[in-house]
């Protein structure tokens, strides 16, 4: 009987531990969500109106960039944070660590140049590499995007907010994401991306859109068709039976130079 009781106690503890981190929150985290004001200052200074990034400028301000990255590492999400606070934190973390990755390895022609020599998409790449920490845990960019943002929050607009340092990515916003403005910011990013004719070409009868809509199609089709999702943000209303094709992806660095 004692063996069964002990087993039940261990099982209960394991289940409790698993559930406590169901949305990637961290024990001992600060109660209040951190300010992203310093990230906004850096973005406003080094992201051009067309979305291109002045990486040399970021290099000149590397100490401030590193300080913000350290600040994120030391102030991970707590269970008490709202979903908007968590989403804003994780988007800012993804973007800040991506910029730091480029800055630490500059000059590069493409973020994919930083892949290991034997690269396997979704398994072994620069995105799956654990090279920074959050809350004392080793982290990768993939963990933020796929195991937190996409897994824990049903918010397809995050695909227009996270930036992969490449020309075909949705542009890096020149301000930090905040809980208070998150809905407006994500809507703006969606409209900006979809109506950018250098990335998407949309007519009522034919649609040529980013491969993002192919790679993550399921995120956009929950309870609706892809066309229905697109029509929420496009200037041109698309017919439901319009033909859809996906454009090639330009992985060149989104650098001003």
Question: What pLDDT, in 10s, does the model give residues 215-255?
Answer: 999 999 999 999 999 999 999 999 999 999 999 999 999 99
Sheet holding 243-246, edge to edge: 201-202, 206-209, 243-246
Q: Which residues of 63-73 are buried (b: 16+ CB within 10 A; e: fewer)?
A: eebeebbeebb
Q: Is 28 left (phi over 0), alpha (psi -120 to 50) or beta?
A: left
- Would you say residue 37 lies in a domain? yes
**What is the pLDDT, as a whole number, of residue 8?**
44
Range of the domain at 89: 33-246
Q: Which residue has the higher pLDDT, 194 or 117?
A: 194
- Would you say residue 21 lies in a domain? no
> Residue 1: pLDDT above 90?
no
Is residue 48 within 8 A of residue 85, CB to CB? The reply is no
pLDDT band at residue 122, thresholds of 50, 70 and 90?
A: low
- Would you say residue 197 lies in a domain? yes
Query: Using CA atoms, how far apart are residues 2 and 244, in angstroms rounded to an integer?
Result: 63
Separation in Å, CA 22 to CA 83, 235, 238, 253: 13, 38, 38, 35
- Would you say residue 257 lies in a domain? no
Query: Using CA atoms, how far apart are residues 153 and 23, in angstroms rounded to an integer?
Result: 9
* pLDDT tens string 129-172: 999 999 999 999 999 999 999 999 999 999 999 999 999 999 99
Q: Which residue has the higher pLDDT, 198 or 28?
A: 198
**What is the pLDDT, as a whole number, of residue 15?**
40
- Would you say residue 134 lies in a domain? yes
> Residue 4: pLDDT above 60?
no
Place of tokens 């590193």: 66
Is residue 206 within 8 A of residue 185, CB to CB? The reply is no
* pLDDT tens string 9-59: 444 444 444 433 445 788 767 678 999 999 999 999 999 999 999 999 999
Query: Using CA atoms, how far apart are residues 164 and 52, in angstroms rounded to an integer?
Result: 12
The mean pLDDT of the chain is 91
Which residues share a beta bridge with 53?
A: 47, 255
Which whole number is the average pLDDT over 109-131? 87
- Would you say residue 2 lies in a domain? no
Structural domain count of the chain: 1
* pLDDT tens string 78-105: 999 999 999 999 999 999 999 999 999 9
User: What spatial distance separates the first Cα and last Cα of the chain, rounded to whole Å?
Assistant: 71
- Would you say residue 18 lies in a domain? no
Which whole number is the average pLDDT over 184-191? 98
**What percent of the chain has a predicted confidence (pLDDT) above 70?**
89
Instruction: Specify the length of the chain in residues.
Output: 257
Neighbour tally for 9: CB within 10 Å: 10
Which whole number is the average pLDDT over 200-227? 97
- Would you say residue 19 lies in a domain? no
**What is the pLDDT, as a whole number, of residue 124?**
72
């Amino acid at each position: 009987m004692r063996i069964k009781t002990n087993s039940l106690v261990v099982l209960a503890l394991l289940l409790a531990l698993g559930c406590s981190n169901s949305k990637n929150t961290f024990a001992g985290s600060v109660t209040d969500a951190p300010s992203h004001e310093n990230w906004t200052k850096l973005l406003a200074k080094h992201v051009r109106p067309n979305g291109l990034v002045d990486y040399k400028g970021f290099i000149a301000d590397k100490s401030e960039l590193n300080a913000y990255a350290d600040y994120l590492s030391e102030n991970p999400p707590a269970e008490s944070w709202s979903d908007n606070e968590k989403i804003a934190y994780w988007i800012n973390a993804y973007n800040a660590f991506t910029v730091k990755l480029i800055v630490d390895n500059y000059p590069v022609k493409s973020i994919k140049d930083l892949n290991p020599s034997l690269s396997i998409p979704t398994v072994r790449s620069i995105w799956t590499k654990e090279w920074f920490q959050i809350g004392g845990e080793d982290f990768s960019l993939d963990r933020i995007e796929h195991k937190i943002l996409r897994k824990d929050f049903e918010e397809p607009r995050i695909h227009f907010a996270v930036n992969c340092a490449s020309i075909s990515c949705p542009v890096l916003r020149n301000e930090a994401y905040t809980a208070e403005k998150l809905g407006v910011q994500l809507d703006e990013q969606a409209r900006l991306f979809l109506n950018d004719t250098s990335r998407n070409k949309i007519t009522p009868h034919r649609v040529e859109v980013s491969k993002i809509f192919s790679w993550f199609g399921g995120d956009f089709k929950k309870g609706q068709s892809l066309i229905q999702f697109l029509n929420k943000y496009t200037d041109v209303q698309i017919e439901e039976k319009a033909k859809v094709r996906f454009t090639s992806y330009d992985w060149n660095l989104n650098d001003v130079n």
